[in-house]
Amino acid sequence: MDKKDLILGRLRGLGNGIIDDVERHTVPAIKVPSRGTSNIVYDDAKRYYVLGDRYGKRSLGNVKQIKKVAQMVSTANFCKGLVETQKTATIREMYYVSEGWDVDFGDQQESNLIGEDLEVTLGVTREDLGLMPEEDGAAVYGDLTVKDDDVEVNALKSGKSGYSISPTIDDVEFLDHGVERVIAVETMGMFHRMVQEEAYKKFNCLIVGLKGQAARATRRFLKRTNEELGLPVYICNDGDPWGFHIAMVIISGSAKLAHVNHELATPNAKFLGVTASDIVNYDLPTDKLKDIDVLRLKELYKDPRYHEDFWKLEIKKMLKIGKKAEQQSFSKYGLEYVVEKYLPEKLDAMES
Amino acid sequence: MDKKDLILGRLRGLGNGIIDDVERHTVPAIKVPSRGTSNIVYDDAKRYYVLGDRYGKRSLGNVKQIKKVAQMVSTANFCKGLVETQKTATIREMYYVSEGWDVDFGDQQESNLIGEDLEVTLGVTREDLGLMPEEDGAAVYGDLTVKDDDVEVNALKSGKSGYSISPTIDDVEFLDHGVERVIAVETMGMFHRMVQEEAYKKFNCLIVGLKGQAARATRRFLKRTNEELGLPVYICNDGDPWGFHIAMVIISGSAKLAHVNHELATPNAKFLGVTASDIVNYDLPTDKLKDIDVLRLKELYKDPRYHEDFWKLEIKKMLKIGKKAEQQSFSKYGLEYVVEKYLPEKLDAMES
């Protein structure tokens, strides 16, 4: 059974459940797995957040829930149309499409939540249902050939800014590659530095420019390079709590998306820096930690995703030195330094 | 003389001027055209902001200016290295590189200003000097073939998210195209809608996804499609003061960059919507104007760039109806509507 049939089957299942209830003269209701914090659990074996087995019921017998049930069914029906015609819509577009329904959404927040309810109820991702986020994913540079919409694209021949991961990355087929690893960097400034210094040759890698917090499409892409292509994935971000956490969400997923982390998290991905130790060892230009940085580091310290000794040590060290540093601060030693000295030393240490 | 020689010539000129001063036993000084508001003028003939002819002097005879002069010369020297080796650096990297100078920058703001001083003094763009912004430009989809870094890229064969305009767009050569016009849209949501509904075929156009406020590279790209390829450029943004102004900065440039508007502005580009009239005529889903929207609309009304009757009418109308609408609000009539009905009607009206 191909994916399209699977998704359509799940959508029909939702509708048929309601019809069955009606025919059996019981009040129609939908079982929705709970996304409350008490039902979000860090799974030590899987190394990411998952949902527990608690769920709630949305029943037409409850006046307060009637509108939500109707919105879920309308949304499911809209998604069925998308999947059948192989189209996609942004969640913003769906919000406007709902103007034509009897149960239109009051605001974007409301339609987003129904989208997530549908994800968790059907056990598929929003993207599987044709509902796309607004933003594109990361930029990729290096020897990877993909089939995107019947066109073959090589990410070494897509221009200096590389191949853009589109929200529909799951429809993209990996055809061929000639690399040994993937190195993701936080900013496009560092991406262009890596391209210019030919890091893709030197490290025989794909370079991925995350553009800050990684989009869902980027996380899917990184997971697929790791699990489908068997490539090690390294993440090189700024040396501050925000850089750490951008990496950690790629590695262990977010609590908010616990119901889809199995599709998004890459537990084998590794943080390649910048660490507090790097700040000291490389004598990097720094900024003083702000109050909000300190607060955030203390939160991370208690977060189950940061349970490894490596993180405990680095977070404590950063709090002790009271300083943070950006990726681009290596330029103090010249533009080439990060590719010629820093990354080789770090990769050597991690891969030996 | 090729561009590289021209830029190197300008940089050497700056240094030689100082050497000449020393040899003639006069106090070295650099003439820097003034970027103060009183020296920024809207040029009716050119249809964008330009700098007037006032300038200031940065002199080594003035204690307060010694550091600035030294920073300008150090920056010029750094840029000379970039241009000679055909490398680029982000302005953030330059900030860190300055750590190795005797006159390092106190903060990013200080180094940005020196970058602009150098632009205006030498009469070239920052990008010509090898100093790049962090962010990439827009996404382009459609039948355009470019030569980017010795690789030929066709923007119809770069994947669903298209070809990314890199900060180094000026080094990219336009080889061939098969289109009649360029349509730029504000959001990537609308970009993907246009691609999915095959707007590039229907309107025989390039689709450009601006991603909000257009990056300098995007503005260069649009100017080049208009002036080098002779293509009409249309901009279809949200129907609110922010959407208007994203379009206007593409058309008539910004005051802040008056000294480089001749490289960035596309005075022939046209606003294709969403207008206040569209909101009424198409009965679009709207949001109420917020206080800040009203304030901004009143500012635009007085701005010389909005002198045309078209803008005067539409701004007044929007203030009167008190409502704004997003591009994606056309989805009320179905996802295809914007491509099948709205854009054809608007283009017909504008091109007839």
What CATH number has the domain bearing residue B113?
Answer: 1.10.10.10
Contacts of B193 (CB under 8 A, 6+ apart): A90, A93, B328, B335, B338, B339
Mutate which: B95, B192, B324, vs A, most A CBs within 10 A: B192
B167 interaction partners in chain A (CB closer than 8 Å): 192
The answer to whether residues A177 and A160 belong to one domain is: yes
Location of structure tokens 């770090």? A346
CA dist A312 → A48, A317, B47, B181, B318 (Å) = 18, 9, 59, 56, 56
Cα separation, B35 vs A181, in Å, equals 48
Between chains, do B166 and A168 touch, taking CB under 8 Å as contact? Answer: no
The answer to whether residues B261 and B330 belong to one domain is: yes
B151 interaction partners in chain A (CB closer than 8 Å): 156-159
Active-site residue among A55, A96, A301, A337? A96
Cα separation, B40 vs B219, in Å, equals 20
pLDDT at B1: 64
End-to-end CA distance of chain B: 43
CA atoms within 13 A on the CB side of B273: 24
Helix (H, G, I), strand (E, B) or coil at A46: coil
A165 interaction partners in chain B (CB closer than 8 Å): 161
Helix (H, G, I), strand (E, B) or coil at A146: strand
Alpha-carbon torsion (A141, A144, A145, A149), positive or negative: negative
ipTM for the whole complex: 0.91
Q: Give the one of B136, B151, B187 whose C-beta lies nearest to A134's C-beta.
A: B187
Q: Among A331, A134, A234, which residue's Cα sits nearest to residue B326?
A: A134
A162 interaction partners in chain B (CB closer than 8 Å): 164
Q: Among A210, A193, A207, A190, which residue's Cα sits nearest to residue A251?
A: A210
Cα separation, A67 vs B98, in Å, equals 60
Cα separation, B304 vs B48, in Å, equals 9
The answer to whether residues B29 and B111 belong to one domain is: yes
Q: What is the pLDDT along chain B (352 residues), one digit of tens a residue?
A: 688 999 999 999 999 999 999 999 999 999 999 988 899 999 999 999 999 999 999 999 999 999 999 999 999 999 999 999 999 999 999 999 998 888 888 888 899 999 999 999 999 999 999 999 877 889 999 999 999 988 999 999 999 999 999 999 999 999 999 999 999 999 999 999 999 999 999 999 999 999 999 999 999 999 999 999 999 999 999 999 999 999 999 999 999 899 999 999 999 999 998 999 999 999 999 999 999 999 999 999 999 999 999 999 999 999 999 999 999 999 999 999 999 999 999 999 998 8
The answer to whether residues B159 and B87 belong to one domain is: no
The answer to whether residues A199 and A286 belong to one domain is: yes
> Token digits for A77?
């029906």
B208 interaction partners in chain A (CB closer than 8 Å): none
Q: Give the one of B90, B159, B189 whose C-beta lies nearest to A92's C-beta.
A: B189
Between chains, do A164 and B285 touch, taking CB under 8 Å as contact? Answer: no
Q: Give the one of A99, A134, A149 whose C-beta lies nearest to B160's C-beta.
A: A149
Biggest CA–CA distance in chain B, Å, is 76
Element counts in chain B: helices (H) and strands (E): 14, 17
Task: Compute CA A4 distance to the chain's CA centroid, rounded to the nearest angstrom.
Answer: 22
The answer to whether residues B235 and B181 belong to one domain is: yes
Question: Which residues of A are known binding-site members?
Answer: 186, 238
Closest CA–CA distance from residue A295 to any residue of chain B (Å): 24
pLDDT at B136: 81
Closest CA–CA distance from residue A64 to any residue of chain B (Å): 26
Q: Tell me, yes or no, if A96 is annotated catalytic.
A: yes
The answer to whether residues A243 and A169 belong to one domain is: yes
DSSP B42: E
The answer to whether residues A158 and A118 belong to one domain is: no
Q: Give the one of B148, B168, B332 whose C-beta lies nearest to A99's C-beta.
A: B332
The answer to whether residues A65 and A151 belong to one domain is: no
Cα separation, B330 vs B341, in Å, equals 10
pLDDT at A284: 96
Between chains, do B332 and A100 touch, taking CB under 8 Å as contact? Answer: yes
Residue A352 has pLDDT above 90, yes or no: no
Closest CA–CA distance from residue B121 to any residue of chain A (Å): 25
CATH of the domain at A335: 3.40.1360.10
CA dist A97 → A93, A108, B45, B239, B335 (Å) = 6, 12, 44, 18, 8
- The whole domain housing A12 covers 3-132
Q: Percent of chain A having pLDDT more than 90?
A: 90
Query: Count of domains in chain A?
Result: 2
Q: What is the pLDDT of residues A175-196, one digit of tens each?
A: 999 999 999 999 999 999 999 9
Helix (H, G, I), strand (E, B) or coil at B145: strand
Q: Give the one of B153, B189, B285 whose C-beta lies nearest to A90's C-beta.
A: B189
Closest CA–CA distance from residue B85 to any residue of chain A (Å): 11
Helix (H, G, I), strand (E, B) or coil at A263: helix
Q: Alpha helix locations (H) across A129-254?
A: 188-196, 199-202, 216-227, 241-252
Q: Percent of chain A having pLDDT more than 70?
A: 100
Residue A340, judged by CB atoms within 10 A of its CB (0-12, 13-18, 19+), counts as middle
CA dist B324 → A15, B80, B333 (Å) = 37, 48, 18
Instruction: Using the 3D structure, point to which of A84, A115, A132 is the last residue of a domain.
Output: A132
Q: Which amino acid is at B101?
A: W
Mean residue pLDDT across chain A: 94
Cα separation, B344 vs B181, in Å, equals 13
B108 interaction partners in chain A (CB closer than 8 Å): none
CB B63 within 8 A of CB B102: no
pLDDT at A150: 86
Task: Compute CA A164 distance to the chain's CA centroid, rounded to the nearest angstrom.
Answer: 15
CB A264 within 8 A of CB A221: no
The answer to whether residues A156 and A286 belong to one domain is: yes
Higher-pLDDT residue of A7 and A137 is: A7
Between chains, do B96 and A330 touch, taking CB under 8 Å as contact? Answer: yes
Q: Which amino acid is at A64?
A: K
Task: Compute CA A157 distance to the chain's CA centroid, rounded to the nearest angstrom.
Answer: 26
Between chains, do B331 and A159 touch, taking CB under 8 Å as contact? Answer: no
Residue A158, judged by CB atoms within 10 A of its CB (0-12, 13-18, 19+), counts as buried
Contacts of A316 (CB under 8 A, 6+ apart): A301
Q: Alpha helix locations (H) across chain B?
A: 3-23, 66-85, 91-97, 108-122, 188-196, 199-202, 216-227, 241-252, 261-264, 276-281, 291-302, 309-321, 337, 343-351
The answer to whether residues A66 and A192 belong to one domain is: no
Q: Among A115, A160, A162, A169, which residue's Cα sits nearest to residue A137?
A: A169
Q: Let me know how long chain A is.
A: 352
Cα separation, B115 vs B135, in Å, equals 17
Residue A1 has pLDDT above 70, yes or no: no
Between chains, do B192 and A90 touch, taking CB under 8 Å as contact? Answer: yes
Instruction: Using the 3D structure, point to which of B132, B166, B191 is the last residue of a domain.
Output: B132
Instruction: Using the 3D structure, point to which of A102, A132, A162 is the last residue of a domain.
Output: A132
Mutate which: B335, B336, B337, B340, vs A, most A CBs within 10 A: B335
Q: Among A185, A289, A191, which residue's Cα sits nearest to residue A241?
A: A289
Catalytic residues of B: 96
> Token digits for A340?
């010629």
Cα separation, B131 vs B127, in Å, equals 5
pLDDT at A240: 98
pLDDT at A107: 86
CB B56 within 8 A of CB B34: yes
A134 interaction partners in chain B (CB closer than 8 Å): 187-189
Between chains, do B189 and A100 touch, taking CB under 8 Å as contact? Answer: no
The answer to whether residues A240 and A205 belong to one domain is: yes
Biggest CA–CA distance in chain A, Å, is 76
CA atoms within 13 A on the CB side of A81: 10
Question: Which residues of A are known binding-site members for Mg(2+)?
Answer: 186, 238
